[in-house]
Amino acid sequence: RLDLRNCILLNSNSKNHSTLGMISEDTAKFFIKAPDKNLLQFILSEKVILVEGDAEYILMEAMYKNTATKDLIDAGISVIAVDGKCFKRYLEIAKILRIKVAVITDNDYNYDENITNRYAEYMTTECSNIKVFADSNNENHTFEVCLYKENKKICDDLFKSPRRTLEVLEYMLSNKAEAAYNLLSSKANELITPHYIKEAILWVNA
């Protein structure tokens, strides 16, 4: 239950130690209550991809390899799944420690409000180590929709069944982790990565 405002940190991105005494009280309290593993992994990483849920986390390694033609572990990039409402807590720390962070998130039907406005403070030259990626088309409101549109035949072949009453996309939205795992298990090398995730991978890999 450590208060980060009392910490002195060493990170591979800097030759000097850093302190987090200037983080907000709300962020400090958040990490006092949050699991320690994600925070430790985040602080010790040089580059991080933050994703919103289990489905993105499950498929990220395959999407990264299909885009960058190498493994995440070889690139030294960590992938951490956090609730989308918590992204800014991590970004507050990344800004101080200069961790390169790509946030991959959903637009939730309103790109301007949920991406442009929400993360405006991190879209500055001062925060060049941080970038937020989401599909700008409000109809592509969540990861499963974007994934299905790029991989319709694969998803239809895998998930369509006479015994299943749900349409394929409805099934994927209702069974996000299970659908992602099945795609990883059987079609990992064939998946087309949604364009905004491809942009995130190329940016954080640079």
Q: Model-level pTM greater than 0.95?
A: no
Place of tokens 């991190």: 122
List, for residues 80-129, the tens digit of each pLDDT value: 998 778 899 999 989 888 899 999 999 999 999 999 999 999 999 999 99
Q: Are 148 and 169 in contact (CB under 8 A)?
A: yes
**What is the DSSP secondary structure assignment for residue 136, as one 8-state letter?**
S
Tally of CB atoms within 10 A around 14: 13
Residue with tokens 């995440």: 72
* pLDDT tens-place string over residues 37-65: 788 888 888 899 999 999 999 999 999 99
The alpha-helical segments, DSSP class H, found in the chain are 25-33, 36-44, 54-68, 72-75, 87-97, 111, 143-150, 152-159, 168-174, 176-187, 195-205
Closest alpha carbon to 94 in 24, 163, 165, 45: 45
